[in-house]
Amino acid sequence: MLIVLTFLLCLLIYISSMSSADKKHPQDEASRNDQEASSSDILNKMKRAAAKKLIERYFYQLTDGCGNPQCQNKFCASSGEVNNITPNQAAAKAIELFSKEAQLCERHPTKMARTQEDSVISILPETNNEESNSSVDTTQLAVPCNEMALTSSSESTSKANSTVTSFTDDETVPYLTEEKLLEIIDECETCKQYSKLIRTLGQVFSNISSLTRSFRQTPSTPIDAMLDIATGDFMTLKKEDVRSLEGEKDKDEDSCVDATSCEGVRKRMELDYPSLRRSYAALFNLPNNIFESAMVNALVSLAGYLQMELQTRNPKTCSEDDIVDVLIMAFEIPALGSGDFLETAFPALCRATKWLTVDIQAKLAYAWAGPGCSSLRSFLENLHQLVTLRVILSQFHPDFFVQDENVVTAATSIMRVLYYSNILAGALESPELNQDDETDLSNLGRKLHQKVLPVDELAAQLGINVLDCRKPFLPFSEFYNEPLSDVVEMDKDFANYKGDIHKFSFMRYPFILTPATKTLGLYYDNRIRMFSERRNSFLQNVSLGTNTSPYLRLRVRREHIIDDALVALEMVALENPIDLKKQLVVEFEGEQGIDEGGVSKEFFQLVVEEIFNPDYAMFTFQNDSQTTWFNPTSFETESQFTLIGVVLGLAIYNNVILSVNFPMVLYRKLMGKKGSFEDLAEWNPTLYNSLKQLLEYTEDDIEDVFMQTFRVSYQDVFGTLLHHDLMENGDQTAVNQNNKREFVKLYADFLLNKSVEKQFKAFYKGFQMVVDESPLEMLFRPEEVELLICGSKNFDFIELENATEYDGGYTNSTLIVRHFWSVVHAFSSEEQRKLLQFTTGSDRVPIGGLSKLKMVIARNGPDSDRLPTAHTCFNVLLLPEYLTKEKLKDRLIKAINYSKGFGML
């Protein structure tokens, strides 16, 4: 039977070759053009594949033999006449034997087959052309639709077996390749019978060993390389060509056939991502209902086996690389975020990933950051689908929180791997930009607290930090899950975070929470610390008889607010810095206001206005970016910059939004990253563009065009021009094509770091005096810290109207209320800000938008000439029931423009 099949294959090759070369009848050529165009490629592929199988048999006959100890074939290793032949020599000799049609041994029954001898599936198109139909009898080569097309590992990977050791001891483990899957799909579609496809998917996707063997990159073997060099026409190779190929391949020091002596082979057999994705595309081009149930059940079984392997951690049965590959193939499934996959298979896979070791997570992160990065968005969307579905369907109650939902927590854990893959796949900066330890609290002369933040073991294993990523592969905001953020009970989550390390807390996975939700976590942390300081003060007063205040009290005069505030804070910082952790209470002299939050808001607002006043010259204003920066030539002492840092920290600690306009580089520096060239884009766009033109200029006349040296100039507070050499003899060193990048690096470092080093260090110390024990750095990225300090830029009064509550008899349908919102929506932006200032004590939009403000409009008696009033501590607007819209507008405008201070009605 084997001889007959071999003869038929060779006959097919010969007839196809003769047919394609026949040019004797030009009048028949036109009638065959269409059919030849559609079938020539298929015939060529079949010719090459069939011939290659025979060459492989010659190759293994030369290297392994046929298994018959009485073999008399001098071209067979079993005869004893083939000695000390290298793999490359065997490959070249096999091609030569094929061209001569040399003797090919029958394989001995005890010898395992090394090549695939399955029947060939007919893929020739139907045609009426007599010559085409007579070229091959396809009915003799067709495979029945019901026949199982899966081949054992020893029969289907002739090349792989010569280069890679088995993944398992089971020699009959089924697996899939792109070609095999396409053949099965074509066969099933032809006969409209999909049992083979269903059976195949069920067997492969339920078995770890099967998946680890599937969709591998084809290893580079001597035969493959030689056939590629031969440009496919290996049937016409001459003896000299074969010898030249053999010589070329003998020089290849990387070729390796014995897997036991070649450590790099396993790496060359990596997962073939393009092949895997093409295979999934072809599979899911079919109606899902054909195979969905079988594949879902298979994945559920796979998840169970994965969990057992991960719990037992037996590397002999399943290596870490195998688990990584299996998870990659599973997560690449396009339909994972829909249908039964989403409801059954995906949750099972996520639950299994909870047992992943840090090493496996790191390998998975690297894999998804490399060839798998193009699928990151689809992976993330599928995980969001799963989390959102579980959040919507689950019934949460005091005994069952979202932190107890194991599918949500498992999906969040695997999303963390994606999060770091997203960072690795993005634009990373040099570790040289990390801040020095000189800015730590030790410079205060005393160690206040030792900051201890939870260590992210995966980040430590990968050696990265979120600050290292200038531009992630996907925007960080795409990792927020709003439905989850809305249902998280942050008090419970904070308790888990501070309590048992084994309890799940979303504060350890802050990337999935919106900034508004994370602000609640920070709020609880600050409030608990305030209560702790209050309790300590009470205990000291009782036990020691002292008169310690449980609050940080500041008594200031409105006309001298800066002097009074900075002097008071300086005394606290010097005498007892721990008092800065107490709740702030502000009193304005001569005013009746009791600080329940509203007085503090105005205090911070007034302090900020004064501090950034140009008359103080502590900060400069960048016209291009409309931002504020440290004045490198300021005459103010370091202590004053320290106290400004304290004010900024107190604002965060007391949940107050400030009207400041720092560039993003300041927040990056506060989080521990130095400024670099890319930060100039926001800090000084004009300078950034100029330097970028310098970098992009490629002509040799750069010195004449830009006329720039390593000496730079800047102005002091009096407008005097000052000079600074970026390197020794900078004024004599011209910027050229060789050193232009060094110039840009040094210039940016001078502007953003060295020139303001003294001012920033003092500012940073004051800031850290307040927030050193806070989880601020763990929860927030630099852009989120800006939101935390400055508030949202989404100034939408429609949101405020929808979120406003009513009291004292008012409802949203009351006439005066309808008039109020009509007037407010017609206000200018400045008037709307004044209304916010009047009602809440701050003109800034809280993080999350005006919908988070929770303003209350209460009735304050019948129509009268009194102005509206407000309780800024509680965001309550007291509004008399004016009879006309005009009167309402007049009284409201007067109130927001002229009312100032507390205790005046």
For residue 45, is pLDDT > 80? Answer: no
Q: How crowded is residue 22: how many other Cβ atoms within 10 Å of its Cβ?
A: 12
- The pTM of this model reads 0.73
Which of 254-263, 378-387, 667-676, 745-754 has the weakest average pLDDT?
Answer: 254-263
The structure tokens 């695939």 sit at: 116
The structure tokens 């300041």 sit at: 666
- What is the tens place of the pLDDT at every residue in 644-673? 898 899 888 888 888 888 999 999 999 888
Say whether both 424 and 337 belong to one domain: yes
Q: Is residue 278, in this structure, part of any structural domain at all?
A: no
Pairing verdict, β 627-630 and 619-622:
antiparallel
For residue 244, is pLDDT > 50? Answer: no
Q: Is residue 23, in this structure, part of any structural domain at all?
A: yes
- What is the tens place of the pLDDT at every residue in 153-180? 333 333 333 333 333 334 467 889 999 9
For residue 876, is pLDDT > 70? Answer: yes
Q: Residue 668: left (phi > 0), alpha (psi -120 to 50), or beta?
A: alpha
Cα 701 from Cα 711, distance rounded (Å):
19
Structure tokens at 566: 């900075």
Q: Is residue 759, in this structure, part of any structural domain at all?
A: yes
Which of 313-317, 343-347, 638-642, 864-868 has the weakest average pLDDT?
Answer: 313-317
Name, of 54-58, 110-114, 229-233, 263-267, the range with top average pLDDT: 54-58
Cα 613 from Cα 833, distance rounded (Å):
20
Which of 157-161, 224-228, 447-451, 477-481 has the weakest average pLDDT?
Answer: 157-161
Q: Is residue 115, in this structure, part of any structural domain at all?
A: yes
User: Is the CB of residue 515 less than 8 Å from the CB of residue 793?
Assistant: no
What was the pLDDT predicted at 224?
A: 56
| 873 catalytically annotated | yes
Say whether both 627 and 718 belong to one domain: yes
User: Is the CB of residue 841 less than 8 Å from the CB of residue 598?
Assistant: yes
Cα 530 from Cα 536, distance rounded (Å):
10
Structure tokens at 284: 């899911």
User: Is the CB of residue 92 less than 8 Å from the CB of residue 256?
Assistant: no
Structure tokens at 774: 């806070």
- What is the tens place of the pLDDT at every residue in 7-18? 434 444 444 444
What was the pLDDT predicted at 115?
A: 40
Select the more confidently predicted residue: 51 or 255.
51
User: What average pLDDT does the segment 227-243 reach?
Assistant: 47
For residue 544, is pLDDT > 80? Answer: no
- Domain finish residue from 790, 808, 824: 790
**Among residues of the chain, what percentage have pLDDT more than 70?**
77
For residue 102, is pLDDT > 60? Answer: yes
Say whether both 773 and 805 belong to one domain: no
User: Is the CB of residue 791 less than 8 Å from the CB of residue 651?
Assistant: no
What was the pLDDT predicted at 188?
A: 92
CATH number at residue 669: 3.90.1750.10
* pLDDT bracket for residue 56 (50, 70, 90): confident
**Among residues of the chain, what percentage have pLDDT more than 90?**
32
For 594, which DSSP code? -
Close Cβ partners of 756 (under 8 Å, ≥ 6 residues apart):
629, 630, 632
- Domain finish residue from 758, 790, 822: 790
Is 258 buried (19+), middle (13-18) or exposed (0-12) by CB count in 10 A? exposed
Q: Is residue 700, in this structure, part of any structural domain at all?
A: yes
Number of domains in the chain: 4
Cα 598 from Cα 654, distance rounded (Å):
11
For residue 44, is pLDDT > 70? Answer: no
For residue 246, is pLDDT > 60? Answer: no
Name, of 94-98, 106-110, 744-748, the range with top average pLDDT: 744-748
In order of 43, 474, 575, 694, the CA distances from 413 in angstroms are 51, 18, 45, 45
What was the pLDDT predicted at 260?
A: 34
Say whether both 641 and 779 belong to one domain: yes
Best CA proximity match to 881, nearest among 857, 905, 855: 857
Which of 12-21, 92-101, 197-206 has the weakest average pLDDT?
Answer: 12-21
Say whether both 36 and 109 belong to one domain: yes
Say whether both 801 and 672 belong to one domain: no
Q: How crowded is residue 103: how many other Cβ atoms within 10 Å of its Cβ?
A: 13
What was the pLDDT predicted at 850?
A: 80
What was the pLDDT predicted at 839?
A: 85
Q: Is residue 742, in this structure, part of any structural domain at all?
A: yes
Mean pLDDT of the chain: 78
Select the more confidently predicted residue: 378 or 316.
378
Q: Is residue 420, in this structure, part of any structural domain at all?
A: yes
User: Is the CB of residue 212 less than 8 Å from the CB of residue 317?
Assistant: no
At 393 the three-state DSSP class reads: helix
Say whether both 811 and 737 belong to one domain: no
Range of the domain at 639: 613-790
Q: Is residue 488, in this structure, part of any structural domain at all?
A: yes
- Domain finish residue from 497, 512, 527: 512
At 812 the three-state DSSP class reads: coil
Cα 100 from Cα 236, distance rounded (Å):
11
Structure tokens at 718: 């009096």
Q: Please compute, for residue 746, the number of CA atoms within 13 A of its CA located in the half-sphere on the CB side.
A: 16
- Which residue among the candidates 256, 318, 373, 873 is catalytic per the annotation? 873
Our measurement of the distance from residue 258's CA atom to the centroid of its chain's CA atoms, rounded to an integer in Å, reads 39
Cα 218 from Cα 271, distance rounded (Å):
9
Name, of 140-144, 173-177, 341-345, the range with top average pLDDT: 341-345
User: What average pLDDT does the segment 516-539 reach?
Assistant: 87
Cα 111 from Cα 721, distance rounded (Å):
89
What was the pLDDT predicted at 384?
A: 95
CATH number at residue 832: 3.30.2410.10
Could you write out the three-class secondary structure of 516-558? HHHHHHHHHHHHHHHHHHHHHHHHHHHHHCCCCCCEEEEEECH
Say whether both 781 and 802 belong to one domain: no
- What is the tens place of the pLDDT at every residue in 724-734? 999 998 889 99
Best CA proximity match to 783, nearest among 658, 631, 626, 662: 662
Say whether both 820 and 785 belong to one domain: no
For residue 423, is pLDDT > 90? Answer: yes
Q: How crowded is residue 249: how many other Cβ atoms within 10 Å of its Cβ?
A: 20
What was the pLDDT predicted at 138?
A: 33
Say whether both 781 and 874 belong to one domain: no
Say whether both 803 and 776 belong to one domain: no
Name, of 118-122, 310-314, 316-320, 864-868, the range with top average pLDDT: 864-868
Report the run of H or E that residue 409 belongs to, with start and end: helix 406-424
Say whether both 688 and 805 belong to one domain: no
User: Is the CB of residue 580 less than 8 Å from the CB of residue 529?
Assistant: no
Best CA proximity match to 758, nearest among 622, 626, 645: 645
